[in-house]
Structure formats: C-alpha cells, structure tokens
Amino acid sequence: MRSLLLALLCLLLAAPLKAGEPPLPVLRVGLAEVPPFVMRGEEGGWRGISVELWEQVAELAGLRFQYQPMTFEELLPALEQGRLDVAVGALTMTAERERTVDFSHPYYHTGLAIAVSRDSSLWGALRSLFSWQFLSLVLGLAAILLTVGTVFWFFERKHNRAQFGETPAEGLGNGFWLAAVTMTTVGYGDKAPVTLGGRLVALIWMFSALVMVSTFTAAITSTLTVGSLRSDIQGPNDLRGARLASVPHTASASYLEHLRIRPNHYPDLLSAMRAVQAGEVDALVYDRPLLLYRNAELPNGGLTILPGTFENQSYAFAVSSESPYRELISRQLLRVIGSPHWQALLDGYLGER
C-alpha cells in the first residue's frame, strides 16, 4: 500500500513537466530616453516609436518583459554583460557593435545630418550681396538691359541722334539707360524713341518689364534670405576645421572619430543643439530624425538642418549575443512594420517638422 501511494505521488509531481514546456521567462528590456523613439509617458510609463513597436512585437511573440531604464551609454555594456536581454532605443546597427551584441531586423532607415545656427544678422545678409549667385543675377539683368538698349539704338541711331549720340558707344549707353528707366517705370523723360520701331520696342518692353521686375525682385529676396540663414558649412566636406558638437558613444561621434575630427562633447542632444544656437560651436552632426524632432523644442526658430543625409544607418533592437529570442523578435517585427499601423505610427511622431 505504501509503495502504491509513493508511485501516485511521483506521477502527480511529474505531471506538470509532461503537460508542456515551462512559460518563457520575464525578459529584462533596457530603455534609454531618446525622443521621439523612447520617451517618458504619463504616470511614469513609456512611449515613443521604438517603445510602441517593441510592445506590439512582444505581444505577438507572447513575450513577457520588464523595463529597466538606464542611460544610453549603459545599454550595450549591460547587454554584453548579461544584465539585459533586449535593448530598445534609437540603436544604430554598426560593425563595431555587432562584435559584442546581436541585432534584430532593422525597422528604421535614416542617416546623419548637420545642424547649423540661423545667422540672421546684418552681416549674413550683406555677405550674400557679394556671393556669386547674387552677382550672376545682376549680370543677367544687365545683359538683358544692354540687349534692349541695343535694339533701341538700332532703330534710333539715324533719326534721333540728339538723344542717342553721335558715336555707337554713346548711343548704346543711352539705350541702356532708356531700357533701365522704362523697366523701373521711372521714366525720366530725358530719352524717348521717335521712330515707329523704337516705340514698338518700348511698348513691348514696358509690359515685359512688369513681369521681369517681379521675377527679379523675388530672386533677389530669395538670395538675401538664404544668404542670411546660410552657414559656411554646407555639407560633410566642410566639417574639417569647424568647431563641432557631438554626443559621446553615438554613431555621429564614431563618424567624426573616423574622420579624425575632435568635437566638443555634450551630455545629450538638446545640450549640443543649444550650444550651436549660442555660438559655442559651428555645427552639430547627429541622426536626422532626432535633430528634426528636438529642433521644434528650441526657441527662436531653432537651428537650420541642412538638407540630405550621409553615412546612412539603420535602427534595430539589440539582443545579447546568440540570444534565443533574436529570430522570434525579428519575425514578429517584420509583421508589424509591414502593416499600415507602422506608417501611421511614424507619421504621428515624425510628421512634418
């Protein structure tokens, strides 16, 4: 009888093991605040592009997890040391990081960009007056006036010598003057065509000049405005020799280090952007979507983000090396980013800024 009871007890203890596999453990998920990908939410929660994406992936994969907030510099070392299972943030996939940790499938593709201060000073506007773009506009207008003036002189040279001179040089000069005052609608009256051909040219030029003046004024205004906002740094080729800002342990810092450029380091992106705005440095190199999002938080219009990207990069979730969850996370991640909800999530956070 005793042996029978012992056998039954053994069967009862063994039953849960045969019923199925034990539940997955609670994953330790590290978070580093990097708006708009990871941000503090209301009542101590978390939100952002990467956070909402991870929560959808975890739900589809049936993963349980617990967030562990830390600084960006702590994320990958904690993952490498086994203190984390997954790292969530704006993590760029690089060959250097791939040596110590693994990455999921990428979910966002971007690149580095350059932010410079908005130089709206008088010198910024005056500097544009001496630019080749402004000079080319003036030379183009002068060429048009000279052409119209030459036509005036051609018709008036024999019948209106009193106004258009005895010599070709004097006649062309007076024709240029007539074209100029007609275009500006000043019309001093000191020069006027008397021939039929000259008057027809004057009539056509009066109406054409109305459009030309508007076009030229818009072109000049655009040149002066762009010139007042323009920095001497126009792209990555202009970074050498400039005073640059960066944030340590980021892809932008690694890029500058590769170029053997020593930037001024700041603890976070917003501090670096404020340093550019204050004139402490000339420019900031950083991930374009993060620059655009943070720029809306700066006063006085923020910084000027130069168009285009370089040193293209991809964001992904990081997992410990040879993690058993990497394939599962990547598979569910592809399902999420292939859905319409993913694009709506990006538009909601990144929209037009």
**Which domains are delineated in the chain?**
8-107+316-350 (3.40.190.10), 124-229 (1.10.287.70), 232-312 (3.40.190.10)
Which helix (H) or strand (E) element contains residue 18? helix 2-19
Per-residue pLDDT for 338 more than 50? Answer: yes
Quote the mean pLDDT of the chain. 82
Average pLDDT over residues 205-226: 74
pLDDT value of residue 130: 62
Distance of CA 139 to the CA centre of its chain: 34
152-166, 238-252, 263-277, 292-306: the lowest-pLDDT one:
152-166
For residue 267, CA distances in Å to 73, 137, 139, 169, 275 come to: 10, 45, 49, 68, 11
Annotate 190-239 with DSSP letters as a single string. Answer: S----SHHHHHHHHHHHHHHHHHHHHHHHHHHHHHHHHHH--S--SGGG-
If 0-12 CB within 10 Å is exposed, 13-18 middle and 19+ buried, where does residue 47 land? middle
**How far, in Å, are 12, 284, 304, 344 from residue 295 at the CA level?**
63, 12, 9, 22
Average the pLDDT over each of 16-25, 94-103, 187-196 and give the range with the smallest value.
16-25
High-pLDDT (> 70) share of the chain, %: 83
User: Is residue 12 over pLDDT 80?
Assistant: no
Task: Dig out the tokens for 173 from the structure.
Answer: 């000069």
- Looking at this protein, which amino acid is placed at residue 104? S
Handedness of CA 161, 163, 166, 171 (dihedral sign): negative
State mean pLDDT over 294-298: 89
pLDDT at 16: 40
Q: How confident is the model at residue 264 (pLDDT cuts 50, 70, 90)?
A: very high
pLDDT for 14: 37
pTM score, whole prediction: 0.60
Q: Which of 39-48, 58-67, 88-97, 132-141 has the lowest mean pLDDT?
A: 132-141
Closest of 183, 150, 188, 156 to residue 169, by C-alpha: 150
Q: Is 54 helix (H, G, I), strand (E, B) or coil?
A: helix
Which DSSP string corresponds to 272-293?
A: HHHHHHHTSSSEEEEEHHHHHH
**CA 220 centroid distance within chain:** 26
Please count the CA atoms within 13 angstroms of the CA of 2 that sit on its side-chain side.
0
Find the farthest-apart pair of alpha carbons in the chain and give their distance in angstroms, rounded. 141
Confidence of residue 209 (pLDDT cuts 50, 70, 90): confident
φ, ψ (nearest 5 deg) of residue 306:
-65, 145
Q: Which of 136-150, 232-246, 255-269 has the highest mean pLDDT?
A: 255-269
> By the 8 A CB rule, do 90 and 37 touch?
yes
Query: Residue 225 pLDDT > 90, yes or no?
Result: no
